[in-house]
Structure 1
């Protein structure tokens, strides 16, 4: 018996490893989504800062939302599996027609899910869809700056064919059948698991990916970012945003 995905449902996958200061804003941005058919799969990668306990308390305080039928699922890994292991575990639990990535320290625009679902339904040839986004320094969400490394349309396939990167991983929504076909993230490129996954979806010369020009995501810069261990302290042109 083949796995049947739920039509129209968006499975939001969020991994958490010691992200306590940012969880309330992240989760609140998801509660404000105008698109109603979604589930949240939150994978705690053996956090040691109280992140998991905070999430459980947050769920209890939002019990009316759960009674409305929202599926919010948490899984605490027994040991730290790393980003690739955690996010792939979440994708295995996702049952939606669409899977959306949401980093635990970032925010989504209220219309993010609605606009991405609409585009994917209107464009059946697109497997993975990102969006434009803005960057803000931690503590100053009102001061956001645009980015200029994203590409659009036919340029996307050309960039990935040359080994480049032009889709922000945190903004990505893709069809669940993509995961069923090619699997999730791997550990082959440490620190660039996000790039490797998107490049795996976009075959050389393919036109199966797109970016929306609308700003639908807000990326937080802070000192504890995983990407800083690999790519320094400045916003890097390859967009490893985890």
Structure 2
């Protein structure tokens, strides 16, 4: 039996592994979205710092704000599966026409979902849509810096064909039927699961990805970022003005 996706619904998938200090800001940025038709799917990858307990308390205390049929779903994995396992579990639970990725330590602009949905509705040939974003140091959310590594239009496919990367994974929104067709993230390239997933989407159809030029996402720099384990510094901060 195939999943009947809900038209217009955005399934926001967040994976959490020991992100306690950043969860309030992240979740509040989603609560403030102007787009009303969304569900939140939060997968806790066996955190040990109280992240899961905080999320449950936050959801309970903010329950009156979840109106209009918003669904809030949490799943605590029994053991740590790694990023690919956690995010793919979340995508399996998503029932929306669109799936949006959100990193637990970052923030989304209030109009992020609305503008991505509008673009995808107006451009049916696009399967996955990223956005421009800005970087800020932890504790300094008002001092944001632009980035210059993103590409647009036909340049995106050319960059990935050469092994490059030019879509910020945390900003991505894609059609749910893309996941139904090609599946989610894998563990084939440890530390670069996000890159491999975008390549899979590109390989599934020509000229089917794009970036919005508008800044709709805010990326937090901090010492415990997952990508620092593999690259020494975050992939998303390698090219911005200081």
TMscore range, shorter length? over 0.9
Match of 2:31 in 1: 31
Displacement of 1:101: 0.1
Q: CA RMSD in A?
A: 1.5
Kept after mapping to 2: 8 A contact 1:161/1:204? no
Displacement of 1:203: 1.6
Kept after mapping to 1: 8 A contact 2:133/2:216? yes
**Using a 3 Å threshold, how does the CA distance of structure 1 residues 204 and 39 change in structure 2: closer, same or farther?**
closer
Where does the alignment leave 5 or more consecutive residues of structure 1 unmatched? none
Kept after mapping to 2: 8 A contact 1:165/1:238? no
Detail structure 1 runs of 4+ shifted over 4 Å in the superposition.
234-239
Match of 2:214 in 1: 214
SS of residue matched to 2:195: helix
Aligned residues: 239
- Partners of 2:67 and 2:121 lie apart in 1 by 28
- Partners of 1:216 and 1:169 lie apart in 2 by 13
Alignment of 1:81-96 (within 5 A): 81-96=81-96
Where does the alignment leave 5 or more consecutive residues of structure 2 unmatched? none
CA deviations over 1:63-106 (Å, ceiling 9, x no partner): 11245421010000000000000000000000000000000000
Alignment of 1:69-80 (within 5 A): 69-80=69-80
Kept after mapping to 2: 8 A contact 1:158/1:205? no
Kept after mapping to 2: 8 A contact 1:158/1:204? no
SS of residue matched to 1:202: helix
SS of residue matched to 1:196: helix
What's the TM-score once normalised by structure 1's chain length? 0.96
Alignment of 1:173-184 (within 5 A): 173-184=173-184
What's the TM-score once normalised by structure 2's chain length? 0.96
| Mean CA deviation greater in 74-83 or 1-10 | 1-10
CA deviations over 1:10-38 (Å, ceiling 9, x no partner): 00000000000000000000000000000
Kept after mapping to 1: 8 A contact 2:10/2:96? yes
